[in-house]
Structure 1
Amino acid sequence: MKNPALMQGLIYLVLAVVFVYFAISQVNLNGWTIMTYLMIAMATVNFVTGLKFVSLGLTTKKK
């Protein structure tokens, strides 16, 4: 792959979606627990990191 930052950003975004899915299923089964809050926090970190890598990958691609 010519642009590893873009690929890494997409992987982070996929992981964020997975964490959100598991958090939603956890809330449906057991309600809001500490594990749910941890999964939402991890999803937030992954979304932010993924967006930063994607924007970095797109800006380096233009140059």
Structure 2
Amino acid sequence: MRASPMMMALLYFGIGALLVFFAIQNVSTVGWNFWSYLIIAFATVDFMIAIRFYRLRKIIKKIQKQNKKDK
């Protein structure tokens, strides 16, 4: 069974939010270091992927709506 784009977007958004939380915890304990920047970079990538999946969902819905009109 395939996961829907919306489910994947929520999953990546959740992982990104969790990584931001870990980065905040890391910064509050040891300050800004290499690991803090790395965690934030991974969170940014996760948020970008989540946005792409959300946009994909909109495109799929638009195509499905267009296909229903054509029938």
Q: TM-score range by the shorter chain?
A: 0.7 to 0.9
The TM-score normalised by the length of structure 1 is: 0.88
Q: 1:19 maps to which residue?
A: 19
The TM-score normalised by the length of structure 2 is: 0.79
Contact 1:9 1:50 in 2 (8 A): yes
Distance 2:3 2:15 in 1: 19
Contact 1:3 1:61 in 2 (8 A): no
Q: 1:57 maps to which residue?
A: 57
Distance 1:2 1:34 in 2: 37
Q: Any unmatched runs of 5+ in structure 1?
A: none
Q: Which has the higher contact order (CA 8 A, sep 6+)?
A: 1
CA apart distance, 1:12: 0.4
Q: Any unmatched runs of 5+ in structure 2?
A: 64-71
Percent sequence identity over matched residues? 37
